[in-house]
Amino acid sequence: MVASREVHPDVPVFGQWVEDAVVAVGFSTVGAIVAHRFPPRNPIGWLFCALGLVAAVLLFCGEYAAYSLLARPGSLPGGEAMAWISSWLWVAHSGLFAFLGLLFPDGRLPTPRWRPFAWLVGAAILAGSIAMAFSPGPVDGLGSIRNPLGIGGVPNFSGPVEVIVFALTFAAATSLLVRLRGASGVEQQQIKWFAYAAAVLACGAFVSYVVSDVVDAWWLRWEVGFVATVVGLAGLPVALGIAILKYRLHDIDLIINLTLVYGILTAILAGVFEVMVVSLQHVLLVLTHEEDSQLAYFVTALVMAALFEPLKRRIDAFVERRLLQSDDGDGDPSETGATEPVD
């Protein structure tokens, strides 16, 4: 994305790339570490993995479509197919957040009375995905790219689907309040952390996708709603991490280590990539009089590959030595009422 913006500054990147990148990194990291440690009946860990995976696929499809259809039309095959996937996959992604609110933290619905609502969410997500898959007009987040399978004469369902999906997700999040009233001890604290991050996300999404459209104020979407949404998305896996750290659901040390190591590593490599590509492009322009030389990207990729492992080792050692504090005071999980993880 950095390279695309540098070489093609007039071509838009995928509109939701920040949100999807945050979800892909945050949820995948936490989910991959804790999923197998939950009891088999509790799908929360795998739900985190699914959220991260779908976000990554959505981001890839959107960027692929933008590059192949706008930046360099015809340079890559399947651009329209990727745009089509982007047109509806966001609905399924939002549905996963609804089920996360319904099932956290024990993997079960708050009460049997919520079962019809869970079926309603599933049906609405399926219907919304189908509606968006064949809805005509521009694909949300992809500028002028239109849905290649949009049916002419059919109204664009983007607005109604967004409202319905948000309303169902918000209603699902209220199930946390139902749990909170009947919870005690560890579960109550877990729900409080999760509910706080979910509330920030819900408020941000409401301002971004509902209020800003109703009052026709784009600044409200980007300067208020966008910031709150990103903070909420980043806060959800962090809130789970805090619950793990404080209330002994699972071993959090490895999660913290991986998050810090790969976060710092990604930032460093992104900076190196930007500097090297720009510098090599200028040098090759002088030597070969060719703009946007692919050789610059090839050389940069080789350098990044060579730097990855040495940098990772040094950052890992720095994190262990300077940022993480070992704590041998392991309490008894039975004293807190926490569920013992499956190893």
pLDDT per position as a tens digit, 225-255: 778 888 888 878 877 766 655 555 444 455 5
Whether residues 282 and 235 share a domain: the answer is: no
Domain edge (last residue) among 221, 250, 279: 250
Whether residues 277 and 220 share a domain: the answer is: no
Whether residues 230 and 216 share a domain: the answer is: yes
Sort residue 144 into left (φ over 0), alpha (ψ -120 to 50) or beta: alpha
Whether residues 246 and 294 share a domain: the answer is: no
Whether residues 122 and 237 share a domain: the answer is: yes
The pLDDT, as a whole number, for residue 252 is 41
The pLDDT, as a whole number, for residue 25 is 85
Report how far apart, in Å, the C-alpha atoms of 196 and of each of 105, 192, 342 are. Answer: 14, 6, 27
Rounded Cα distance, 327 and 124, in Å:
46
Cα torsion at 108, 110, 112, 115 (round to 10°)? -70
Whether residues 156 and 208 share a domain: the answer is: yes
Rounded Cα distance, 27 and 328, in Å:
27
The mean per-residue pLDDT over the stretch 161-187 comes to 82
Whether residues 116 and 256 share a domain: the answer is: no
Report how far apart, in Å, the C-alpha atoms of 193 and of each of 158, 227, 262, 337 are. Answer: 32, 19, 24, 17
Whether residues 267 and 288 share a domain: the answer is: yes
Q: Residue 6 belongs to a domain with what CATH number?
A: 1.20.1070
Residue 129 pLDDT greater than 50, yes or no: yes
If one counts the domains in the chain, the total is 2
**51 sits in which H/E element:** helix 44-66
Whether residues 262 and 207 share a domain: the answer is: no
Residue 95 pLDDT greater than 70, yes or no: yes
Nearest to 37 by CA among 234, 226, 240, 249: 249
The mean per-residue pLDDT over the stretch 79-83 comes to 90
**Structural domain containing residue 332:** 252-343
Whether residues 126 and 240 share a domain: the answer is: yes
Whether residues 242 and 257 share a domain: the answer is: no
Maximum distance among all alpha carbons in the chain? 71
Whether residues 87 and 127 share a domain: the answer is: yes
